[in-house]
Structure 1
Amino acid sequence: RSYHDPLSGISDKRNLEQTANGMQPLFDVRHIQEHNRQLLEQLRIRDDEIERLTDERDSVKQSLAQAHSQ
Structure 2
Amino acid sequence: MSRDLTKTLTYLSIHLTIGFSVAYAFTGSVSMAGGIALIEPCINAVAFFFHEKAWKRVERRAQVDPFVRDAVVHG
Question: What band does the TM-score fall into relative to the shorter chain?
Answer: 0.5 to 0.7
**Gapped runs of 5+ residues in structure 2?**
18-22, 67-75
1:16 positional shift: 2.2
Runs of 4+ in 1 over 2 A off after TM superposition: none
Aligned length: 49
State, as a whole percentage, how many aligned pairs show the same letter. Answer: 4
**Gapped runs of 5+ residues in structure 1?**
9-14, 19-23, 62-70
TM-score, scaled relative to structure 2:
0.51
1:55 positional shift: 0.4
Give the number of the structure whose alpha-carbon radius of gyration is greater. 1
Q: Which has the larger helix fraction? A: 2
Q: What are the within-5 Å matches in structure 2 for residues 11-22 of structure 1?
A: 16-17=24-25, 18=28
Number of the residue aligned with 1:34? 39
Cα displacement string for residues 11-67 of structure 1 (whole angstroms, at most 9, x for unaligned residues): xxxx8241xxxxx57x42122111001111111111111000110110124xxxxxx
TM-score, scaled relative to structure 1:
0.54
Q: What secondary structure, in the 3-state scheme, does the structure 1 residue paired with 2:24 have? A: coil
